[in-house]
Amino acid sequence: MLIGGHVSTAGGLHLAVERGVETRCDAIQLFNQSPRMWRPTRYDPEDYERFQEAMDRSRVEVVVIHAVYLINCATAEKELRKKSLNSLTHALTVGAGIGAAGVVLHSGAAKGDPLGVALKRASKVISEALAETEGCDLLLENTAGSTGLLGRDVGELAELLERAGGGERLGICLDSCHLFGSGYDVRDAETLSLLLDDLDGEIGLERLRCLHVNDSAVPLGANRDRHATLGDGEIGSAGLATFLSEPRFEEIPAILETKLDRKQVEKARRLRKKGLAARAG
């Protein structure tokens, strides 16, 4: 498993790689621009070249981008739809420039509209963004079950992928905290295995291309997204050891999204080893 975390691009794209190295990451995630602003950060071929050179010199094997939080592909508002499409297209363009394995996306919210209508609108924006770009995958992230947010379970993720065309560039990212919040008890090996059986049947495990590894500050099924640092939440160290040691997560980048330091990355590795030992009996 390629364990790492979310790093800052302050001072330049290439410095994100250095921060990943400092914290002993095998994989990193970054924002292509400020996550709470529409204004894109402009990069040129030299920025991409410096980033790729830094990657070549580092231990970091995989980079993914997280799209900005403002995006709502399901919106009925024309101006917000336009901004969402432009922002997503920009993220995919930057992703291609730096050789990212994918752009992780929160697909959007229904905002009181029927689910089917929201899924249709969101999938259309996703399809358009993919059509306008090339060379970088788009990974739809599961949500924590909050009312109206798309992708709260395997069925909704599957429908989004199908409606958007289901091409090879479409994949998913699973977040441990979001799964827990929406009622999937990732602390239990059997429950987790059944979830992946379901995912394989409806979507295909080959589309699972990234993990977010976060503890949860809220109880199972709370339908809220509240991250906690590893071992300090409701999932706990034993639960995270179970999650990280799931055999079908092998070789998938696993990104920590809470405050990143070397100790947290090494703790994730220790929990994985502990979980693997427990599975081996």
pLDDT, tens digit, for every residue of 97-130? Answer: 999 999 999 999 998 899 999 999 999 999 999 9
pLDDT at 195: 97
The answer, yes or no, to whether residue 36 has pLDDT greater than 90, is: no
Rounded Cα–Cα distance for residues 16 and 272 (Å) = 25
Rounded Cα–Cα distance for residues 259 and 239 (Å) = 20
The answer, yes or no, to whether residue 85 has pLDDT greater than 90, is: yes
Position 267 confidence tier, pLDDT thresholds 50, 70, 90: very high
Domains of the chain, CATH where assigned: 2-280 (3.20.20.150)
The answer, yes or no, to whether residue 259 has pLDDT greater than 90, is: no
Write down how long the chain is: 281
| 202-239 pLDDT per residue, tens | 999 999 999 999 999 999 999 999 999 999 999 999 99
Strand (E) or helix (H) holding 89: helix 78-98
Residue 210 pairs in a beta bridge with: 173
Q: Percent of the chain scored above 90 by pLDDT?
A: 96
Q: Percent of the chain scored above 70 by pLDDT?
A: 100
